[in-house]
Structure 1
Amino acid sequence: MIAASQKRRALVVDDEPALRMMVGAVLRDEGWDVAEAPSAEDALDLLSGARPDVILLDMRMPGMDGLEALGAIRAKSPGVPVVMLTAFGTVGSAVDAMKRGAFDYLTKPADNDELVAVLGKAYEYSRLISENLELRREADMTPEVREIIGQSEGMQRVKRLIEQAGPSEATVLITGDSGTGKELVAAALHAASPRARGALVKVNCAALPGDLLESELFGYVKGAFTGAVKDKPGRFQLASGGTLFLDEIGELPLGLQAKLLRAIQERQVEPLGGVGAVPVDVRLLAATNRNLVAEVQAGRFREDLYFRLNVLEVPIPPLRERMDDLPLLTAHLLRKLARKNNKPVREVSPAFMDTLARYPWPGNVRELENALERALVLSRTDSLSAADLPPQVLSSAPARAAQPSAPGPGPLGAPQPPRAAPSLDEAEKQAIIEALALYGGHRQRTADALDISRRTLQYKLRKYGLTTRG
């Protein structure tokens, strides 16, 4: 659980034990968390672990001196402000250090009030740097990535793969059960790529029979068959300069698999009825809910095409394997569905969340969204209860889960007392507290986990009287 505030962290680097003890005592009285290092070498070792907010660094020490240490510290932790500590006779060296990037300097013996004031200013500077970096990161985050909700280990892996594979030209195979969000991942990969300004063209390979699918992919020329009254470009041509997303690639007929493989290898397509090849420039993404390795072994999918598609795989875990994400998903989907249906939700009963948590969700996030929309539409009040959920969801929970008085988590997963439906404000405050604790007070990660912007999180921190270290 997060406390009302986080301690500021200082690293004191000085070879004199008495000075380290004195400075440490002063700062701890002011609420700082203080680490000590007797040398610059020890300080650099400490920087490999927890990052301090401020460093107080002596100018003259055995081994690596202050100026050399300053350069090494700035290379290792560039955002951490360094305050130099110097004897009166070496003030000129301290000023030189400031020219090299030190935040400020203090002369020995440092006045306690001045020490607290200077390190306080350095801490505020450190916070400002961190906030600017986080705002830049938030500005760079695409809406497509924000739509991928979840902080479980599996979803964190998905997000890391998107960050790594997105800017490349590599073909990506997205795998996972139906309803897990493969199309969202494809959109995020496209948005993170240099082709983001081009089109993202989607083809559902299971939605069309083979003959129609071939003409959709490769196009046709006038007169190619009855009804072909004019040339029609295929999806490969429409996606040129952008990304082509082939959903349900495992449903592609074997004959068409050979033509797709040739198009990928040669980067050109032959429209039906045409007499020449048309060059295309696309990045290919594919998705399937089938086990393509098993399909290859069964002779239903070409092995050479499988290896062409599976340059990099992004596996999406089913909802049943990431139930820790259920409260975040529920909160996100309810906000979206409330806007869509113009029907605000102020409360959910504890039994509502308890029932959601007991169901295995074979249809994954898509089924969860449908169940929440049904509950929202059928609810006669602005409070959702378990009775509003679909029968198949209710049938998986014990009878007590349908009682409004049963204890259970609130809308964002916060524990609630029996016989009380939590207000959204109460549940939201508790969820923010727990998310802050989970991410060590890191505001951007907390905001990402709660599916809100960082500015919104700052507003809610003030609203609920919560503070963090930045």
Structure 2
Amino acid sequence: MRPEHLKVLIVDSDANVRELITGWLKADGFHAAAESSGEAAMRRLREEHTDCILAAINLPDMDILELLRQAKLLDPAIEVIMLTSNVADASTVQAMRLGAFDYIVPPLQRESVGLAALKFVKYRNLIDENANLKSGLEAYRKDGDILGRSPTFEQIRHLIADAAATDIPVLITGENGCGKERVARAIHAASSRCSLPMVMVSCSAIPEHRAERELFGSECGAPDGVPYPKRGRLEIAFGGTLFLDHVSALPARIQGELVQALQRQMFRRVGGTLELPVDCRIIAADSADLAALVRTGEFREDLYLLLGAVQIHIPPLRDRREDILLTAEYFLRRICAAMNKNIVDFSEPARQLMQQYHWPGNVRELENAVERAVVVTVSTYIQPMDLPPLQTDPATLPASLSLEELEKRHLLKVLPLMKWNIKKAAEVLGVERTTLYNKIRRYGITRPLRRPSGSVQVPQQ
């Protein structure tokens, strides 16, 4: 909020003081008015909105305590700054205890008035920002960016509410792109820890030699000579939530250290001796079957039991088709608002096409498809031609095709659509870039070069 949006009322029996302060505040951009008595000030407050009162501690008809009391009864958001000659005066001390915002002591100077006014502006900005955050949080708590009318999703909503009411670790499973992060954010937003951050850790994106430092932090010089201590994600998430995405990618040794930290609720930075407390909610997510990985020895059973106290499985979008159009309409409204575009709805053919498509990339692919349609459409209704090609219906494919062949065909469709931009293709497919590179090499997929020779190349990481 800028000064010109704020109204300040000066209350002082001295006309020179009123004129001086009013002039200074107006020069700084404030709306400023003045009154000579407490009663006159209260009459003005009843007639027009005022943000801040700058008043002498001793008025002829009313002391500062009474003015503060009446002003706060009229509007609790009004702040009072006192003009006092003695900060140790009983009235000054009592007024501060009762909620006065600040005080100014003589000699009366433009700098001291300006600093008090600036302090008030910053405070009001914080109040407004906090109100906006709370408003956004309430909206997030209402639907949590979690959309679905299917019976399965209603159960997920109940699980989110139950999980948010406790600090028990939660394990979220489901295919890539199905909305695991959205569910994690909904749990965090509805929990008692919502005022503090949710710290994200993509375990598959951290090199193995850095995993320990990323999670637990390191002291000066450990292990690679860095001259300052570094906080790990466990420490940064203190009081909030730690979200471990692709948790199965954690190295076995780090899995063991995490088990110790969660069991003891204490940990040490790499190279450190001081034990630090663990005070964060743990939410883990993975597209892999962790129970199967436990059976094959690829994931620690004790960590699985710790993380899986509450488990939420998100079914793929193709298994809850009643949620497809609802989710698409939500993305359409949100993306149109962000891009300032006036699009009424999806056309009926576009709705039928989205409803029939099997969405291998799940919610993430649907969001990207809607975003593309909003960008390219020239109509007030999204048409089938605005959507990316959504023609691969599993029912039309030969039953003899293996899962690998189906996956390869889908990659061969998505990569050219994304103009071989690996980052964008990975987002559409709902996988990490490293995973996509591995699949490209595994299936021998090559990208045609723009050269007459027709030679090909494998995308390089």
TM-score tier after normalising by the smaller chain length: 0.5 to 0.7
What residue number does 2:357 align with?
Answer: 359
What residue number does 1:296 align with?
Answer: 294
Distance 1:150 1:396 in 2: 22
Is the partner of 2:205 in helix, strand or coil? coil
The one-character-per-residue Cα deviations of 1:173-222 (angstroms, maximum 9, x if unpaired) are: 11111111111111111122222222211111111112222111100011
Is the partner of 1:206 in helix, strand or coil? helix
Distance 2:383 2:394 in 1: 14
- Does the aligned pair in 1 maintain the 2:356–2:393 contact within 8 Å? yes
In structure 2, relative to structure 1, the CA distance for the partners of 1:182 and 1:398 (3 Å cut) is: closer
In structure 2, relative to structure 1, the CA distance for the partners of 1:305 and 1:139 (3 Å cut) is: closer
Is the partner of 1:320 in helix, strand or coil? helix
Distance 1:383 1:190 in 2: 36
Name stretches of at least 5 consecutive residues in structure 2 with no aligned partner: 1-134, 397-461
In structure 2, relative to structure 1, the CA distance for the partners of 1:249 and 1:397 (3 Å cut) is: closer
Distance 2:355 2:186 in 1: 28
In structure 2, relative to structure 1, the CA distance for the partners of 1:398 and 1:173 (3 Å cut) is: closer
- Does the aligned pair in 1 maintain the 2:242–2:280 contact within 8 Å? yes
Partner residue of 2:215 out of 214, 217, 236: 217
What residue number does 2:270 align with?
Answer: 272
- Does the aligned pair in 1 maintain the 2:267–2:278 contact within 8 Å? yes
Partner residue of 2:321 out of 320, 323, 329: 323
Q: TM-score, normalised on structure 2?
A: 0.54
Partner residue of 1:228 out of 226, 229, 241: 226
What residue number does 2:140 align with?
Answer: 143
Kindly provide the amino acid, as one letter, of the partner of residue 391 in structure 2.
L
Is the partner of 2:204 in helix, strand or coil? coil
Deviation at 1:397, TM superposition (A): 10
Deviation at 1:253, TM superposition (A): 1.3
Partner residue of 1:394 out of 381, 386, 391: 391
Q: How does 1:139-288 map to 2 (within 5 A)?
A: 142-146=139-143, 147-288=145-286
Q: Percent identity among equivalent residues?
A: 40
- Does the aligned pair in 2 maintain the 1:142–1:191 contact within 8 Å? no
- Does the aligned pair in 2 maintain the 1:345–1:382 contact within 8 Å? yes
Paired residues, what number?
Answer: 261
The one-character-per-residue Cα deviations of 1:151-177 (angstroms, maximum 9, x if unpaired) are: 101110110011111111111111111
What residue number does 1:9 align with?
Answer: none
Is the partner of 1:394 in helix, strand or coil? coil
Q: How does 1:331-370 map to 2 (within 5 A)?
A: 331-370=329-368
In structure 2, relative to structure 1, the CA distance for the partners of 1:209 and 1:387 (3 Å cut) is: same
Structure 1: 4+ residue segments shifted above 4 A: 138-142
Distance 1:230 1:140 in 2: 36
- Does the aligned pair in 1 maintain the 2:137–2:189 contact within 8 Å? no
Kindly provide the amino acid, as one letter, of the partner of residue 174 in structure 2.
G
In structure 2, relative to structure 1, the CA distance for the partners of 1:310 and 1:155 (3 Å cut) is: same
In structure 2, relative to structure 1, the CA distance for the partners of 1:207 and 1:330 (3 Å cut) is: same
The one-character-per-residue Cα deviations of 1:246-271 (angstroms, maximum 9, x if unpaired) are: 11111111111101111111111111
Kindly provide the amino acid, as one letter, of the partner of residue 162 in structure 1.
I
In structure 2, relative to structure 1, the CA distance for the partners of 1:318 and 1:156 (3 Å cut) is: same
In structure 2, relative to structure 1, the CA distance for the partners of 1:139 and 1:251 (3 Å cut) is: closer
In structure 2, relative to structure 1, the CA distance for the partners of 1:397 and 1:356 (3 Å cut) is: farther
